[in-house]
Amino acid sequence: MTIPLALIIILGVGAGFLIFFVVKSLVAPQKVEALAGLIKKGKTQTAIKAAKRITSQEPQNAEAHYYLGLAYHAEGRDELALMELKTVNQLGISERQIPEIEFRQLLAQLFVRYKQEEEALKEYLLLIKQAPNRSEYYYWAGKLFTARNRTDMAANYLRKAAELNPQDGKVFYELGVMLYKDKKVREAKAALEAALKYQSGNAQIYFFLGKIQKDAKNYTAAAEAFEKAARDAEFKIRALVERGGCFMALNAPEKAIPDLERAVNAISGETAQDSLYARYFLGLCYEKIRELDKAIVQWDKIYAIKKNFRDVGEKLAQYQELRSDDNIKDYLISPSADFAELCKAVVNQVMELQAKNTKSIPDGCEMVAIENDSAKWRNVRKMPRLIRFYRSPDPVDEPKIRAILDDAKDNNIIRAMVLTSAEFTRAALEYANSRPVELFSREKLQAMLQGLNLPQHKDKSSRQL
């Protein structure tokens, strides 16, 4: 019996296709295995060329995309590596010759690097299912939950990471920072101190321990912690600003200034919040010690970048007259002895009283003044006044008015006077309204200073701000 020619052709073609697919199924894995070998030997360029040939011919070949991604990663071309691994993820790795844990671990790391945190979290949660005893995966899941403000979930994963690896300092650090931001201070401190046992060289731990101490108003201990935190380049400016803030809270601006100057000198990006705060607080400290020209330099720089930053605009407006009015400048920046003489001149020349018993007080000076001698009033008892001059930038509040009246009463003085280069609070004005005390705010004081007859300054150019 003869076989028809057509049937022979069909059988031949079928056999050819069968042989083709059998050979292809045998050769393709060999090609992929060859890619792995090339990468292992460091021949990444050859691997990339070979993998590209395979993926151009077989776009659905997940293994080829995987090894192409590995080759890119080995060369530090991680953006391209991520693109290939995402393709693998889309194609799926079920029944593929791809090690799932290694694949997902690298994919998760690349997602983190390129700020795709939601995708990274999904991968770490899948990794936890694959390898439930790996502390590292719980650590990253907790860290990524923290970034999403899911502190409840973050705490659970970080505590599990600490349980699996109780000597991993970075886990305790991340847990401590998260608990601090969640206002669980006691637990945060314990976690950070545990982190310090295993990562004593981690200066960032000291930053958050310093924050905890500062919040508790333990400024001396906080300042020590911030000094250690300043060793870290990333935290340097923040730590120095916080350390300066500790000394400011202790009313020691002269101690705060060196740290704040260090912070300003370390500025690399002027628009950063840390940079603005460094200049702002340095300006406040200069203001406190009466170096107003230096303070204005700092505030001018802030104003040029961010006009609405805190009260910088008000500060500059407040001291605007210093650029042209020498008398008000002297009032604000003179040393204590010269300041007292200037205040005496106001009393003697403008008020036409006679100043007695002048002494320094915080942010100002105080004196008792009596009426000048005159024939008309020679046999009349002179009425003394207790006078206080203030040059703080802060408004004079009600307690200061109460204090001067109490002190006047204790010294058998009926009337009091308060002069300030700032203003008075509403409560202070209301309290003084029906009491024997006269208040002179900035505008009135400035007019008095303009009326003084003082020696001309020898070098006015040196006095300009």
Give per-residue pLDDT as tens, 131-149: 999 999 999 999 999 999 9
Whether 135 is covered by a domain: the verdict is no
pLDDT in the model for residue 21: 40
pLDDT, average across residues 126-133? 96
365 part of a folded domain: yes
Higher pLDDT among residues 436 and 453, named by residue: 436
Per the domain annotation, does 212 fall within a domain? no
Entry pTM = 0.72
Q: Which two tokens stand for residue 61?
A: 């070949």
Domain total of the chain: 1
Per-residue b or e along 187-209, where b marks 16 or more CB atoms closer than 10 Å to that residue's CB: ebbebbebbbebbeebbbbbbbb
Distance CA 216, CA 382 (A): 53
- The answer to the question of residue 408 being in a domain is yes
- Percentage of the chain beyond pLDDT 70 is 88
Domain span at 363:
329-454
- 335, pLDDT greater than 90: no
Under the banding of pLDDT at 50, 70 and 90, the label for residue 30 is low
Which pLDDT does position 376 carry in this prediction? 47
Cα dihedral 290→293→295→297 (10° resolution): -170
**In a 10 Å sphere around its CB, with 0-12 CB exposed, 13-18 middle and 19+ buried, how is residue 418 labelled?**
buried
Which range among 23-32, 73-82, 140-149, 270-279 shows the weakest confidence by mean pLDDT? 23-32
On whether residue 58 sits in a domain, the answer given is no
Comparing 213 with 460, the larger pLDDT belongs to: 213
- Residue-wise pLDDT for 184-196, tens only, equals 999 999 999 999 9
The answer to whether 224 and 204 have CB atoms below 8 angstroms apart is: no
Residue 375 belongs to a domain with what CATH number?
Answer: 3.40.1350.10
Q: Is the confidence at residue 430, as pLDDT, over 90?
A: yes
- Asked if residue 413 belongs to a domain, the reply is yes
Q: Could you tell me the pLDDT band of residue 452, with boundaries at 50, 70 and 90?
A: confident
pLDDT at 9: 58
| d(C-alpha 296, C-alpha 282), whole Å | 10
Least confident of 334-338, 371-375, 386-390: 371-375
Q: Which residues contact residue 226 at a Cβ distance below 8 angstroms, ignoring those fewer than 6 apart?
A: 206, 207, 210, 239, 240, 242, 243, 246
Residue 137 lies inside a defined structural domain of this protein = no
Q: Is the residue at 132 inside a domain? A: no
Host H or E run for residue 419: strand 415-420
